[in-house]
Structure 1
């Protein structure tokens, strides 16, 4: 093999069944990974000889890399892996890479006609940031790349490209993309609308509130706004800091009409899906479930729960990220049901590793 590999530490509920005899001599692989200091989502760099690179493992656990957001760590790791492979194939140890090597790599990534997947200047700037962190941590001087140097930044980078839709075009987009209608407004033959109400209510709520997709998708049932403001057109809710990019609590507003659509979905499509999952025992098979026992309010709201083993826990509601929220359940009429934003919100008042990866993790 002539390329580097990346393995990401799975979330607790995604390890899957491990062999009783252990993996490559490791009896309890999740515990062994945690003992190293790795957390779910952390990348592990595996050399082409299938050995976990100890130096890059130190980088992943360093203050240069660990404080980054999980998705940023993932993106940076993918970028670094490509550079490591490119250098490996040329017999260049990554610590010994010179400015000329990084210039050649940039030319290949951005401009070379031999590269069938050339990238934009904006993408290169992100990669340069990842490489800068790596070489700064490794104390390589002079650094072969520095995202603060004008020469190492792309001149054609664009921070964003925003396209605005008129209300008419937006309505057409929803009809064609979410409701299965043709441009003339008639139903398209063969349209499978099993999740039509879910999709349209989610998009309507997200558009009305101005929330990001991850934010609106991680709101719990009891966080969905329900009481209209004095004008009667909008409700206000609180966005948890763990879900926001700014890492601060903030207030958001959503139209009563969009919330009615969410309630309609929760009382129909969603209720049917939950009932079917309960009847089939799907929730009992989940490896991670925390049943909410109470939510206390005050200066801060605290969620109290009990897990499958009867162990009680609690945490500040505003500090629960979207993954932890997926583990939360509430006691419904027919048994436990998810408490995520895809669950039933209150009605609007009128005044929701594979085994191969595990073996690679044990290979170092």
Structure 2
């Protein structure tokens, strides 16, 4: 598929693409330069790659929906949008329907895309944009909302778990235990220590998933640090909003769990690194940056470049930059990223979603094995074990 593009790096420099910029290609019509320019020259180009990924997913679902109807994205009406909303949320012919909160994100992405396309190409914006008045409820004032926004999408939908419920979800979903405290003989938890340490850190530090998933080993409290809650620093580019870095506390139990996962003899992280080194995966990375030093006081790392060593601020390194940092050891290269996949490569933040889905499914299966009939409808929503993540 890439043969017809020529020098993709030269093309990227000309059209404003960067590392992680989405490229949407129709299997029927091929690439549409107008769509792909949205991720290069609109306001979204200044956002983070995870925002690009979410908006690109929405556009792919929308464009596939239109192609099945024989419609072009540049010649749609409000009826097409409302048909899409019905299919996405309530159509019984769609086995992958989503809830109001997920579609609210779809609505925001499509609205942003068509506002930009309207100004650039004169395309009609099919997304209703005039706010309407909400009926005031008791104790509340009248508010304004977008008419196309799903009625069931709250502005905030936090989920809370007590410590006992969280530990039960972790032990059953990630460590293979049953509700009676026993673990079956067939359980093989290859990454059990990694997964348990990761969620313990989320619960104990209060960091968001992407924030905790992008930390480096040099940013963890040093061995021997005293206190029940050692202090650590969250880099500016990893924090939500990307304006300021901040300090946070890591419970001693979390430090112990992460140290066990990173143990050079018994931790699964060392095993994953060894497999990658033997397979030569790190040496084949053309984008790897070799770290030759670290200054914890200035929060900088020294990186080897073609012109010699240079110091980089950890505050300025985003999620993608951090995945490229390696150090050279007697056994070969090893990543600075704390959280690694089974193949030894630094794990991207969105990959944890698969781990949590599998854990929730394992909890549901254990619930049935414990003799509780499968829950349905409103009862499942009330009693199901939820992933303790935003």
Same fold (TM over 0.5): yes
Question: Aligned pair 1:207/2:203, yes or no?
Answer: yes
CA pair 271-41 structure 1, distance change in 2 beyond 3 A: closer
**In 1, Cα distance between equivalents of 2:8 and 2:127:** 37
CA pair 163-304 structure 1, distance change in 2 beyond 3 A: same
What is the TM-score normalised by the length of structure 2?
Answer: 0.72
Aligned equivalent of 2:222: 226
Aligned equivalent of 1:23: 3
Match of 1:243 among 222, 238, 257: 238
**Alpha-carbon shift at residue 176 of structure 1 (Å):** 2.0
**In 1, Cα distance between equivalents of 2:279 and 2:80:** 57
CA pair 198-43 structure 1, distance change in 2 beyond 3 A: closer
Describe the SS at the equivalent of 2:303: strand
**Alpha-carbon shift at residue 234 of structure 1 (Å):** 0.8
Render the CA deviation track for 1:114-166: whole Å, top value 9, x for unaligned: 43333322222222212211221122586321456332111111345444333
**In 2, Cα distance between equivalents of 1:306 and 1:235:** 31
Which range moved further: 263-272 or 238-247? 263-272
* Matches for 1:181-330 after TM superposition, within 5 Å: 181-226=177-222, 232-247=227-242, 248-267=244-263, 268-269=266-267, 270-296=269-295, 300-306=298-304, 312-330=309-327
**In 2, Cα distance between equivalents of 1:224 and 1:305:** 19
* Matches for 1:2-21 after TM superposition, within 5 Å: none
What is the TM-score normalised by the length of structure 1?
Answer: 0.76
**Alpha-carbon shift at residue 233 of structure 1 (Å):** 0.9
Match of 1:56 among 35, 43, 47: 35
C-alpha contact 2:294 2:302 (8 A) present in aligned 1: yes
C-alpha contact 1:227 1:235 (8 A) present in aligned 2: no
Describe the SS at the equivalent of 1:138: helix
**In 2, Cα distance between equivalents of 1:228 and 1:318:** 25
**Alpha-carbon shift at residue 276 of structure 1 (Å):** 4.8
Question: Aligned pair 1:143/2:125, yes or no?
Answer: yes
**In 1, Cα distance between equivalents of 2:211 and 2:20:** 19
**In 1, Cα distance between equivalents of 2:117 and 2:280:** 51
Render the CA deviation track for 1:321-348: whole Å, top value 9, x for unaligned: 12221211223354432211248xxxxx
**In 2, Cα distance between equivalents of 1:89 and 1:260:** 53
Structure 2 segments unaligned to the other structure (5+ residues): 132-145, 341-345, 347-390
**In 1, Cα distance between equivalents of 2:92 and 2:240:** 37
Describe the SS at the equivalent of 2:169: helix
C-alpha contact 1:236 1:254 (8 A) present in aligned 2: yes
**In 2, Cα distance between equivalents of 1:281 and 1:112:** 49
Aligned equivalent of 2:13: 34
C-alpha contact 2:66 2:72 (8 A) present in aligned 1: yes
**Alpha-carbon shift at residue 249 of structure 1 (Å):** 0.3
Structure 1 segments unaligned to the other structure (5+ residues): 1-6, 8-21, 344-351, 353-364
Render the CA deviation track for 1:289-345: whole Å, top value 9, x for unaligned: 2211223466x53322125x67655432111112221211223354432211248xx
C-alpha contact 1:221 1:339 (8 A) present in aligned 2: yes
C-alpha contact 1:45 1:53 (8 A) present in aligned 2: yes
**Alpha-carbon shift at residue 192 of structure 1 (Å):** 0.8
Render the CA deviation track for 1:255-282: whole Å, top value 9, x for unaligned: 1222122222222213344345445544
Aligned equivalent of 2:164: 168
Structure with higher RCO (Cα < 8 A, 6+ apart): 1
Question: Aligned pair 1:121/2:119, yes or no?
Answer: no
**In 2, Cα distance between equivalents of 1:264 and 1:143:** 54
